[in-house]
Chain A
Amino acid sequence: SQKIEQNSEALNIQEGKTATLTCNYTNYSPAYLQWYRQDPGRGPVFLLLIRENEKEKRKERLKVTFDTTLKQSLFHITASQPADSATYLCALDPWGSNYQLIWGAGTKLIIKP
Chain B
Amino acid sequence: DAGVIQSPRHEVTEMGQEVTLRCKPISGHDYLFWYRQTMMRGLELLIYFNNNVPIDDSGMPEDRFSAKMPNASFSTLKIQPSEPRDSAVYFCASSAQGSLAGGPETQYFGPGTRLLVL
Contacts and interface: CB of A to CB of B under 8 A. Distances in A.
Contacts of B55: 98
Contacts of B93: 43
Interface stretch (B13-21, B64-72, B80-88, B102-110): B102-110
B42 A99 contact: no
Interface residues of A, number: 20
A42 to B, nearest CB: 6
Contact of B45 (A34, A45, A49, A100): A100
A29 to B, nearest CB: 16
Interface in A41-88: 41-46, 49
B109 A45 contact: yes
> DSSP class of B's interface residues: helix, strand, loop or mixed?
strand
28 contacts: A32-B105, A34-B105, A41-B112, A42-B112, A43-B91, A43-B109, A43-B112, A44-B43, A44-B107, A46-B102, A46-B107, A46-B108, A49-B102, A49-B103, A49-B105, A49-B106, A93-B105, A99-B33, A99-B104, A99-B105, A101-B45, A101-B107, A102-B45, A103-B42, A103-B43, A103-B44, A104-B42, A105-B42
